[in-house]
A and B are shown apart, each in its own frame.
Chain A
Amino acid sequence: MKYWLTLLLGLYALVAQAGIEVHKFSSPAVENDYKELVAELRCLVCQNQNLADSNADLAVDLRNQVFKMLEEGKSKQEILDYMVARYGDFVLYRPPLDKATALLWLGPAIILLFGMLGAFLFIRNHRLSPDDQDEESGNTAP
């Protein structure tokens, strides 16, 4: 059983190897920048994946482009600008805060506020109901 499992996993490793392109980074800092960039750039073909995860042809090309630009000494911001100039804010998983994205960025905070307000009201009503009178004396108000 163990033997077969080892063999199976070994075969799987072969398959997994096939889809990966190998980049020779000139320094660990560049490799780090590369990993960060491909994680936060969106693949335009399969839109719910980032460049790092996608096997689409275009994603491979764009990864190579990111690698090439980093090795040419371009900064991360220059590469992000390069991508945005071609594909728009859509390629960024963290789009800039502006009028169109305000709801996207502030939405969670607004929902949290509503939730806190609801919780506050609920707790206050609960406290004032008669069955909880004796319990209330033991608590300090927030």
Chain B
Amino acid sequence: MKLKHLIPLVIFLVIAGFLAYGLSLDPRKVPSPLIGKPAPQFELPSLLEPGKTVSTQDYRGQVWLLNVWATWCVSCRQEHGLLVDVSRNLDIPLVGLDYKDEAEPAKQWLQRLGNPYQVVAFDADGMVGIDWGVYGTPETYLIDKQGIIRFKQIGPITPQILRDTILPMVQHLEESA
């Protein structure tokens, strides 16, 4: 057999290799350009305390988590139980951002399923969501003391991600100045 008869096979293997690699990637995971950048500022009405506002300024100098959720978001519900559990032993603020939602169903949701959030900012028209590059709820951001976004989770947090990634990062960021 001549060597050149192997050429189609080689081309096939190369293409198959690329395709196999492509299949193993998650197309939903778009790398966020905001990692390592200052968190976009916002000031929004508080969902649960009428007349009050929630501002990113309130968290300057602290490590904190922002969780983007909505009542229309199916996987947020899946994540919610974990958040409720976590919030009991969490020593940093967990702030909720209720994204493109309606106030009444959102309040009922928190009443029925428990409220893991220190405060919930109400982003009715989704403009803050656009500033933060939200495209698929739930999304969770970890912000450091200088107000820099350190980590972004797209999709529900799992116990594994929490244990192996988020909590160690929180501890590390808490210890640094």
Give the dominant DSSP class at A's interface: helix
Collect the chain A residues with CB atoms within 8 Å of residue B31's CB: 88, 90
Given A61-B130, A65-B130, verify A84-B136 contact (CB < 8 Å). Answer: no
A44 part of interface (Cβ distance < 8 Å): yes
Collect the chain A residues with CB atoms within 8 Å of residue B32's CB: 88
Measured as residues with beta carbon below 8 angstroms from the partner, the interface class of chain A is 10 to 19
Give the dominant DSSP class at B's interface: loop
A90 and B29 CA atoms in complex are apart in Å by: 10
A45 and B130 CA atoms in complex are apart in Å by: 13
Closest to B133 in A: A86
Given A44-B135, A45-B136, verify A62-B130 contact (CB < 8 Å). Answer: yes
B77 part of interface (Cβ distance < 8 Å): no
| Residues B30 and A44 in contact, CB atoms below 8 Å apart | yes
A90 and B126 CA atoms in complex are apart in Å by: 20
| Residues A86 and B30 in contact, CB atoms below 8 Å apart | no
* A contact set with B: CB distance below 8 Å: 44-45, 47, 57-58, 61-62, 65, 84-90
* B contact set with A: CB distance below 8 Å: 27, 30-34, 100, 125-126, 130-133, 135-136
